Amino acid sequence: MAVLRHLISIDDLSNETIREIFRIADEMSKGLRTTKGLATGNILATIFYEPSTRTRLSFESAMWRLGGGVISCANMRDSSSSKGESLADMVRVVGGSYADCIVLRHDLEGASRVAAAYSNVPVINAGDGSHEHPTQTLCDLYTLEKEKGHLEGLTVTLCGDLRFSRTIHSLAYALARFGADLVLIPAPGLEMPEYVLRALQSRYGCQPDRVEASEFRQLAPSVDAVYLTPNRPHQLSLFTKPSEPHHLPDLVKKIDALYMTRAQDERYGALGTQADLPHYPVVDPAFLQSPRFRDTVVMHPLPRRKEISYDLDRDPRSLYFKQAERGVPIRMALMAVLLGRLTLETADTLPPPTPRGELYPGKLGVQCGHETCVSHVEDYVPPLFEILERNPWRLRCVYCEREKVGRYVASVGGRVAHPGQAPEARRIKPANLIVFEDASQAAAAGYTISAKDSDAASRDSEESSAMGDDGS
């Protein structure tokens, strides 16, 4: 029987298991004070390299309520990592005899995947850089289903910083899987990353079309809007009447939920801060008074800044404090399962561990290069890619999921690098394969560029720098 070992991505859970966790959470919330005993003798370690209030404290509260104990390092920058200790060593020690479960928040994408690889005990991803935050998604879905009665067929708008919000990425995958329609309203410059859009399309048949930027004056002038409908592509402008900012065209008959996020400006670097973003969307009572929003619930993972007006807090459509409150029973349910204290009835629906495709260990050739990917920063982490396509060679880093395109391939021990589409390329056994980003990388590794294509080599080399990364 399949066992849930870790929770790294929302894709580690089937829809059935998510529903089962909700059922257990219902039971837990009935007896928040009486479930003591379920995890007696267990110790949770909360290891946070980034700030947190809700996620860390709700995990800790959940463990106390289950009857276990907690050890915590809330500011790992004050720990031995500031002396240069690696994530792998830290996890081996903490998951050795100190704790039975690790909740990890880290600033690098893919950090929880690396931690899980070195840990003897379950690892729960409490946010890895801008990548994923699966337990927040459980709280979000649980709340949404409670309020709306179902998830299938809901229309949910995701607003604000769609580029760096890990809560948005995990939620978008889950909503697409449950058959909700997504409307993306990114702040300018903070659009959903290409790698997320491609995953939505390839994994869930969600075919996104970016539409023209349109004025939506009072919400966010000059926002880009993308309308995504799983299995049903659309190419339509959402906001057709800039002079009537509260009027949406009839296409969007209803908006069931508006999920807002704050500007994740701790990740912006040269982009600046929220104060430098002129058109960040804001939801306030005036905006919500349109009849179209009568039944629209407003959600936010918190913390908020100005993107949700405090004047909305008493509005029954505002759910953000309920999302936070439900974090405790949801995390109680999840930990009881991961610690083996409860057995999943839906274990046979657990998906195979991610990544699922054929893997390419990029020892030589293509490297991830995404600057906040754990494989780029922690130098003992071996590069590893999932092969998405062979012509062209499209690879996805298993840690941060950014994609790379390989234009030349060669064989270990060989001397010639062939263009990716050449028949010779297809004959190389996967175990011997080396994928190069371009001709210059192959030449630097000592390979001769196939004579057939040497004219194209320099051209490809120039093009690949524009095409190789997904730019997010």
Q: Which chain residues interact with ligand NCD by CB under 6 A? A: 54-55, 127, 133, 136, 166-167, 261-262, 264, 301-302
The token pair at 241 is 């009447």
Q: Is 370 a catalytic residue?
A: no
Output phi, psi for 120, to 5 deg. Answer: -85, -10
Total residues belonging to the chain:
472
CB of 126 to ligand NCD, least distance (A): 7
CB of 364 to ligand NCD, least distance (A): 35
Catalytic residue among 56, 65, 105, 370: 105
Which residue, 106 or 394, has its beta carbon nearer to ligand NCD? Answer: 106
Long-range contacts formed by 20-24: CB under 8 A, 24+ apart: 20/344, 20/345, 20/346, 21/138, 21/330, 21/333, 21/334, 21/337, 22/141, 22/142, 22/145, 22/330, 22/333, 24/332, 24/333, 24/336, 24/337, 24/342
Q: Is 55 a catalytic residue?
A: yes
Q: What is the DSSP letter of 397?
A: E
Q: Is 314 a catalytic residue?
A: no
Which residue, 14 or 318, has its beta carbon nearer to ligand NCD? Answer: 318
Catalytic residue among 17, 35, 46, 55: 55
CB of 110 to ligand NCD, least distance (A): 16
Catalytic residue among 54, 217, 267, 317: 54
Residues paired with residue 43 on neighbouring β-strands, in sequence order: 69
Q: Is 363 a catalytic residue?
A: no
Residue 283 and residue 159: Cα distance in Å, rounded? 10
Which residue, 42 or 136, has its beta carbon nearer to ligand NCD? Answer: 136
CB of 325 to ligand NCD, least distance (A): 12
Which residue, 14 or 52, has its beta carbon nearer to ligand NCD? Answer: 52
* Residue in the shown chain whose Cβ atom is closest to ligand NCD: 301
Catalytic residue among 33, 83, 253, 427: 83
Which residue, 166 or 394, has its beta carbon nearer to ligand NCD? Answer: 166
Q: Is 175 exposed, middle or buried (0-12, 13-18, 19+ CB in 10 A)?
A: buried
Q: Is 54 a catalytic residue?
A: yes
Between the CA of residue 176 and those of 151, 181, 204, 468, what are the distances in Å? Answer: 10, 7, 6, 27
Q: List the catalytic residues.
A: 54-55, 83, 105, 133
